[in-house]
Amino acid sequence: MYSLSAKKASITGDDLKKDKTIVAFGYFDSSQNSLDGRAIYLISPQPVFLYGKISDIDRQNYTVTLKDESGKENIIDIETYTRTQSVTDDKTLQKSGFSRLSPGDTIQVVGTPNAKEDNRYSAVRILVINSVSTTPQTKP
């Protein structure tokens, strides 16, 4: 088993505790409803999911300020490993990047919390969803 924190390291069953997040790969036995784990990853810190509109962009420090529906603002750090995609008009995904982000864009972020600041996160993935309609539409 491996830890996905700062570095790859072997862990044992004793390292697994209640309320820890893991990702497991292996063979599922439906007759016994069990997974024979071949690789188990301990996820730390737990990822967070954020949604809102970009209210500000700091192009020198590679951050965006994300304002959610309640008005709360979070700072999102764009890292070298951040993967950014946008949804196109025909609802397919297109590779994007920090330079294409704009104030007013609606985005979803998967990130990890910053240990020193409560409202700051490092983005793992960003999905720009400006063109996606969230209301059901009927066709005549």
Cis omega (within 30 of 0) for bond into 113: no
Cis peptide before 47 (omega within 30 of 0): no
The answer to whether the CB of 120 falls within 8 A of the CB of 128 is no
User: Does residue 70 carry a pLDDT above 60?
Assistant: yes
User: Looking at this protein, which amino acid is placed at residue 117?
Assistant: E
Mean pLDDT of the chain: 84
Report pLDDT for 1.
39
Highest mean pLDDT among 11-15, 24-28, 39-43, 116-120: 116-120
Q: Could you give phi then psi for residue 121, rounded to 5 degrees?
A: -140, 150
Instruction: Report DSSP state, residue 98.
Output: G
Task: Please tell me which residue, 90 or 3, carries the higher pLDDT value.
Answer: 90
For residue 126, what are the β-bridge partners?
84, 109
Instruction: Give the residue, 107 or 6, on which the prediction is more confident.
Output: 107
- List of residues 6+ apart from 4 with CB closer than 8 A: 23, 41, 42, 43, 44
Per CATH, the homologous superfamily of domain 48-128 is Copper binding periplasmic protein CusF (2.40.50.320)
Q: Domain residues of the chain, as ranges? A: 2-43, 48-128
